[in-house]
Structure 1
Amino acid sequence: MKVNVIGQVPKEFVDSEIHAILQENPARAIKEITFERLDGDECKESYELTTVPFERIRRITGYLVGTMDRWNDAKRAEEHDRVKHSL
């Protein structure tokens, strides 16, 4: 995680904001976060989270699958012989 701080921002504030962001997004990590001190006690923050991996799941021969890598020969033959409908 890359942390950018522009101006004087207390370390306790930075740590608490990072903790809050991670609590709101438990399945993701912070790629980069920037804190910029504005007038008075105001602080502008911006951050970028990592992407969530996405795997397409299809229903084939009655099973929900992502890939057919672990299928045996009989199940592969069943998939090959099935009637494929188009829209």
Structure 2
Amino acid sequence: MYNNLIAEMIKKGYKAKDIASILANLLDCSEKTIESKLKNIQEFTFSEVMKINKQIFDNKMDLKYLFATKSYDNTTYHKQFIQKTPPSKWWN
């Protein structure tokens, strides 16, 4: 899952529920295709990556960060990591 891409789009003011639709319109494909790409079932092409960076982020985002499939920093987490981690007694 492209958590960084989704998080950065949300930071720019896009609603999470609208992201697939926005990217589908931008890349001229179906929302189902975008959902597959966001889940890393299908890959974004280089031209799609460049178009997203240009149209949504004004070519200001680092592509390696934006399209990373795993994140190890404190701001975003990979969905599988969260599901496998037992809850902490400190956060209940």
The structure where helix makes up a greater share of residues is: 2
The TM-score with structure 1 as length reference comes to: 0.23
The structure where strand makes up a greater share of residues is: 1
The TM-score with structure 2 as length reference comes to: 0.23
The structure with more radius of gyration:
1
